[in-house]
């Protein structure tokens, strides 16, 4: 990523919680960066059927559709219809309502740390992917600076202290509370949201899950950063703000 991209990412990130539209712009800009990353790996979404899992307000889906992908977005809250070639589904990523081997590419950004059964998530992704299909998986490692999400940096003190110090005085924008059903006083990380929560996902755990799911790893790196420490034991968990895995299903 060049300096101009980093500056723009910082700008849209600062404004992302002001409104639903600002968060959509934040997602859309991240999507433009991902498309550059895909091109670096000779991967193109044009003409492919892409599943955007945990699509949220639809920013990723919109950019993928603009690039000629046939997008299926799935989220518990639903996503707006974007184009004639876009299909929005309200559903659970652990029970994807699509046929086996019907998708060319799965985008799963910032979702795996919010599901109680991540192995089931990967099984479902593998099921709907065609042979030689790709999956992009990303998340903030739990022991990284952003791993506690809205509880950061108090998540380093443990769940009880994080809830005491941050959970009782969280200031969540009203549009976020309305859309995602954020609990005003969660009793645990897993109860932060209505039908989904926050669970401890580390780079090491993700690698174990990927191996067990029989995906072929194309790339493991730190998202947004020019230097990656993600493969370093322990230290990599702490220094990685956001982990990204590019995976391929065997034929």
User: How confident is residue 169, by pLDDT bands cut at 50, 70 and 90?
Assistant: low
pLDDT recorded at residue 81: 60
Distance (Å, whole) CA 21 – CA 70: 23
For 21, the token pair is 């539209």
Chain-wide mean pLDDT for the chain? 91
Determine what percent of the chain is predicted with pLDDT higher than 90: 71
Question: How many other CB atoms are found less than 10 A from the CB of residue 100?
Answer: 10
87: pLDDT strictly greater than 90 = no
Q: What is the pLDDT of residues 43-82, one digit of tens each?
A: 999 999 999 999 989 999 999 999 999 999 999 886 666 6
The predicted model scores a pTM of 0.93
Helix, strand, or coil (residue 243): strand
1: pLDDT strictly greater than 90 = no
pLDDT recorded at residue 142: 97
Which residues have C-beta within 8 Å of that of residue 147, sequence separation ≥ 6?
113, 140, 141, 155
pLDDT recorded at residue 159: 92
pLDDT, mean of residues 169-183: 77
């Amino acid at each position: 990523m060049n300096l101009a991209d980093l500056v723009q990412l910082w700008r849209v990130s600062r404004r992302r919680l002001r409104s639903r539209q600002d968060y959509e712009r934040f997602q859309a800009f991240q999507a433009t960066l991902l498309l550059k990353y895909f091109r670096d790996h000779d991967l193109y979404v044009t003409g492919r059927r892409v599943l955007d899992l945990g699509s949220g307000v639809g920013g990723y889906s919109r950019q993928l559709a603009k690039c000629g992908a046939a997008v299926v977005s799935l989220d518990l809250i639903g996503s707006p219809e974007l184009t004639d070639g876009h299909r929005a589904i309200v559903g659970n990523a652990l029970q994807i309502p699509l046929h086996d081997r019907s998708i060319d590419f799965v985008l799963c950004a910032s979702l795996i740390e919010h599901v109680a059964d991540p192995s089931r998530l990967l099984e479902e992704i593998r099921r709907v992917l065609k042979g030689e299909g790709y999956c992009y998986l990303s998340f903030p490692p739990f022991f990284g600076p952003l791993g506690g999400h809205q509880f950061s940096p108090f998540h380093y003190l443990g769940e009880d202290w994080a809830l005491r110090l941050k959970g009782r005085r969280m200031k969540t924008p009203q549009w976020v509370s309305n859309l995602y059903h954020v609990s005003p006083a969660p009793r645990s990380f897993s109860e932060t949201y209505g039908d989904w929560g926050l669970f401890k996902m580390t780079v090491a755990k993700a690698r174990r899950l990927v191996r067990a799911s029989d995906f072929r790893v194309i790339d493991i790196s730190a998202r947004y950063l020019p230097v990656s420490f993600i493969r370093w034991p322990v230290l990599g968990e702490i220094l990685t703000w956001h982990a990204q895995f590019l995976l391929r299903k065997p034929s």
